[in-house]
Amino acid sequence: MSSGDPQTSAAHDGRAVANDYDSFAQAYAAESESNLHNGYYARPAILDLAGDVAGRRLLDVGCGAGTVLEALRDRGAIVTGVDPSIKLLELARQRLGEDAALHQAGLGGAPLPFPDGAFDDALACLVLHYLEDWTAPLAELRRVLAPGGRLIVAVNHPFVYRLQHPHADYFATSKWSEEYTFSGRNATLTYWHRPLHAMTSAFTEAGFRIAVISEPPPAPGARERFPEVFQEVFRNLPSATAFLRFLFFVLEAA
């Protein structure tokens, strides 16, 4: 679960690059293993939406350190992962083994290194929101999916941008950044906000049918593990069980 844009990994000529996961890969992998947003929210939601994947050829674009790939492989999927970050791919190989099908690649640049219709399912979990233009990336994902294949997407929920930037234009495609601390390591991630209608239009124009739009609750045990977060989020909603952070889609290739 990292960036899917090759421009977000470290530049070979030493230039500073946005969203440089290579510079904090180990810290990010350690933090995201069991934190609230990844370990108890995005990852369980993706696995739930994927369902029965036994025997299915599955591509994880932005596979990061391979946590989701490992879970899906354990469920019987035939998995392949790509990520622009060399350091995250090294961690994924340690997790999955030397023979794992892992490639340095991403969206927004060169074509993915796979033939047409190579996969039954593809994941783009916390990837597309790094990209200003979704046209070519979605076309490429559609290309590598077999007819009837599924694309499972998780992105920043567009309403979160509105909550965090109340004076911004919700309907504009806008660039914004957020500061994080991953296992004590500071990092800045830069995103592109787009309204919900722009997302759904991009999906349908790329040849996908929207099968599911999901705003799931966190996984069981999250409230007990992160009581201070839930106390803050639900201070005025004591009976609530869900919160807004990511938005999930299941898309079917026409």
- Indicate if the pLDDT at residue 12 is higher than 60: no
Determine the Cα–Cα distance for residues 81 and 186; give it in Å rounded to an integer. Answer: 26
Tens of pLDDT, residue by residue over 97-144, are 999 999 999 998 899 999 999 999 999 999 999 999 999 999 999 999
What's the pLDDT band for 15 if we cut at 50, 70, 90? very low
The DSSP code sequence of 209-242 is: EEEEEE-PPPPTTHHHH-HHHHHHHTTT-TT---
Q: Is the pLDDT of residue 4 over 70?
A: no
- pTM, two decimals, is 0.90
Structure tokens at 139: 């076309």
pLDDT tens digits for 164-194? 999 999 999 999 998 988 888 888 899 999 9
Query: Is 163 or 7 the better-scoring residue by pLDDT?
Result: 163
Residue 183: predicted pLDDT: 82
Residue 27 DSSP label:
H
Rounded CA-CA distance 28/224 in Å is 23
pLDDT at residue 58 greater than cutoff 80: yes
A 10 A CB-CB count for 242 gives: 13
Cβ neighbours of residue 250 under 8 Å, at least 6 residues apart?
Answer: 49, 150, 151, 152, 153, 210, 211, 212, 214
Would you state the pLDDT for residue 248? 98
